[in-house]
Amino acid sequence: MAVMAMAAALRGPGGRFRWRTQATAGGVRGSARGAAAGRQDYNLLVIGGGSGGLACAKEAAQLGMKVAVVDYVEPSPRGTRWGLGGTCVNVGCIPKKLIHQAALLGGMIRDAPHYGWDVAQPVLHDWRKMAEAVQNYVKSLNWGHRVQLQDRKVKYFNIKASFVNEHTICGVTKGGKETLLSAEHIVIATGGRPRYPTHIEGALEYGITSDDIFWLKESPGKTLVVGASYVALECAGFLTGLGLDTTVMMRSIPLRGFDQQMSSLVTAYMASQGTRFLKHCTPSRVQKLPDGQLQVTWEDLTSGKENMGTFSTVLWAIGRIPETRSLNLENAGINTNPNSQKILVDAQEATSVPHIYAIGDVAEGRPELTPTAIMAGKLLARRLYGQSLDVMDYSNVPTTVFTPLEYGCVGLSEEEAMARHGEEHVEVYHAYYKPLEFTVAERDASQCYIKMVCLRKPPQLVLGLHFLGPNAGEVTQGFALGIKVPGPQACLEPLLMESVGGGAGPPTSR
Ligand SMILES: Cc1cc2nc3c(=O)[nH]c(=O)nc-3n(C[C@H](O)[C@H](O)[C@H](O)COP(=O)(O)OP(=O)(O)OC[C@H]3O[C@@H](n4cnc5c(N)ncnc54)[C@H](O)[C@@H]3O)c2cc1C
């Protein structure tokens, strides 16, 4: 109530709300008290300058709000650090897709002689050159984001934030200087970071993660990728494609949560391209040998036997943890899921504290994808400041796994469809096909495959679409509309056939 009264008193002449908190002095002690001079007032304070946070901040500023973004990158355990823009820009989608492209180009160079190109042999790849080009591009994006914030008059603070109370955060710079910032609304968009195993000797000391791989100046060499996530398979895929000896070690199934038939085709293609898979294996120790190589000991869970191998690099891709640990969420009364540590949110993205919101990877139950974080951020700003009522629709979001043969999907997997509707009510249409560009190049197309998961009852509503083949991202994006705006199988089929070219017969049901 006191908060409401003070808020009313501070409503600006144009009716625009300007929050000024008094709670900071009581909530912060010691050096933080000295930071009171740097106290700021904002309509919106966004914690985290990644995909969701930046989108929300820019949209709110465009709607005339006084906005601040705080962003701080804690260096990885290997010491890798990067600039503004969050995971996608620096250590996710962008460098990943560019290095995937570098790997695909290798395949095209191998195809080229079939198409008449005289390619001098041997064709070598220079990691250093590629890394420099990719890193320069990422740095240009970092700069671009800073300029965009400036242009929109969004105040940017390079500080690590934690809550003092429900309207105030304390931010600490790299040098330890503290700043208190307060706002009417606060959006938490702090994303997540890769998880290291805690029980494996040498894991943290000698291993790297996706936070490091894109910033390596030198080739990682012979690499062991541990994990079965899409990040694990994508990294292993591009490393193999660049000609590196690459092994994936997984304890259980690949791409948990994705359609399992498609997942096994993804790994089958990777294996055909040279990626080695150690399935049902789990590492127990990483030791550094005198020559700098890493000796990994692992257990084969099927045979119970212990094995050893030597690698230049060990990359952990065993999942991600949300960045909530250092936010002191309890100071603001924000509830998290005790298992996932993610912030609990409602359909409006509101946390347990009504004026504090959470979007993107840090929020419970949200897809860990950039476009959804961006859209959620924009829509939230429009609801808060633009008189919009539109909420984010998280259903049927298309996604693509950028493995050497790309896998795009939208809607339900076959397993999910059967679990939801019953096996007897689900019809699956499928087809193997040969992309035209594979023919002249004599590429093996055994894993190029499409599958439509439909309801059996006419008009056979399409529940899920799965595509494994070149340019899956682009293909799936288009078909997502056909799933979003529900339609029968008969509508999508001709389009699908057009999209994969002449190599496929009509999909048959099974
Ligand atoms: C290897 C990899 C590949 C990926 N590929 C794709 C892809 O192809 N397509 C796709 O859609 N998604 C992809 N993703 C996922 C995508 O990157 C994330 O879903 C997206 O970045 C989430 O955005 P966000 O705004 O929630 O958080 P982030 O982008 O992670 O931004 C959070 C920001 O907050 C900062 N921060 C954290 N704590 C604090 C604090 N206390 N104070 C201040 N700042 C803080 C962080 O340093 C970071 O800058 C990929 C992820 C990885 C790891």
Which residues does ligand 1 sit against, CB inside 6 Å? Answer: 47-53, 70-73, 86-88, 91-93, 96, 160-161, 189-191, 210, 231, 323, 326-327, 360-362, 368-371, 373
Q: How far apart are CA 47 and CA 157, in angstroms?
A: 10
Answer for the pair 210, 317: CB distance below 8 angstroms, yes or no: yes
H helix or E strand, kind and range, residue 271: helix 260-272
Answer for the pair 17, 184: CB distance below 8 angstroms, yes or no: yes
Predicted local distance difference test score (pLDDT) of residue 28: 38
Predicted local distance difference test score (pLDDT) of residue 494: 58
Dist. CA 483 → ligand 1 center (Å): 27
For 147-164, b/e burial (b = at least 16 CB within 10 A) is: eebeeeebbbbbbbbbbb
- The pTM is what? 0.90
Q: Residue 97, annotated ligand binder?
A: yes
Answer for the pair 367, 46: CB distance below 8 angstroms, yes or no: no
Structural fold of domain 2-76+133-192+321-385: FAD/NAD(P)-binding domain (3.50.50)
Q: How far apart are CA 2 and CA 106, in angstroms?
A: 65
For the CA of 360, the nearest atom of ligand 1: 26
Predicted local distance difference test score (pLDDT) of residue 214: 98
Q: How far apart are CA 349 and CA 188, in angstroms?
A: 10
Q: What is the tens place of the pLDDT at every residue in 432-445?
A: 999 999 999 999 99
Answer for the pair 406, 443: CB distance below 8 angstroms, yes or no: no
Cβ neighbours of residue 305 closer than 8 Å, sequence gap 6 or more:
299
Looking at the chain, the whole-number percentage of residues with pLDDT higher than 70 is 87
Residues of the chain with pLDDT under 50: 1-39, 502
Q: What's the CA angle centered on 423, arms 420 and 427, to 5 degrees? A: 100
Give 55's strand partners. Answer: none
Among the listed residues 190, 171, 197, the one whose alpha carbon sits nearest the alpha carbon of residue 182: 171
Q: Residue 231, annotated ligand binder?
A: yes
In a 13 Å sphere around the CA of 14, the CA atoms on its Cβ side amount to 4
Task: Identify the DSSP state of 186.
Answer: E
Cβ neighbours of residue 67 closer than 8 Å, sequence gap 6 or more:
42, 43, 44, 45, 46, 57, 60, 61, 152, 153, 154, 155
For the CA of 400, the nearest atom of ligand 1: 8
Fold equal for 203-318 and 405-509: no
- State the CATH architecture for 405-509: 2-Layer Sandwich (3.30)
Q: Domain locations in the chain?
A: 2-76+133-192+321-385, 203-318, 405-509
CATH code matching the domain that covers 203-318, chosen among 3.30.750.24, 3.50.50.60, 3.30.930.10, 3.40.50.150 = 3.50.50.60
**Can you tell me whether residue 168 is helix, strand or coil?**
strand
Q: How far is CA 379 from each of CA 60, 155, 186, 372, 423, rounded to the nearest angstrom?
A: 10, 21, 15, 10, 37
Q: How far is CA 238 from each of CA 92, 104, 207, 357, 470, rounded to the nearest angstrom?
A: 13, 8, 18, 36, 14
For the CA of 326, the nearest atom of ligand 1: 41
Q: How far apart are CA 183 and CA 115, in angstroms?
A: 61
Backbone angles phi, psi at 190, to 5 degrees: -90, 0
**Can you tell me whether residue 508 is helix, strand or coil?**
strand
Dist. CA 141 → ligand 1 center (Å): 14
From 89, 331, 370, the mutation candidate for ligand 1 (largest count of ligand atoms within 8 A of CB) is 370
Instruction: Give the Cβ contact number of residue 171 at 10 Å.
Output: 23
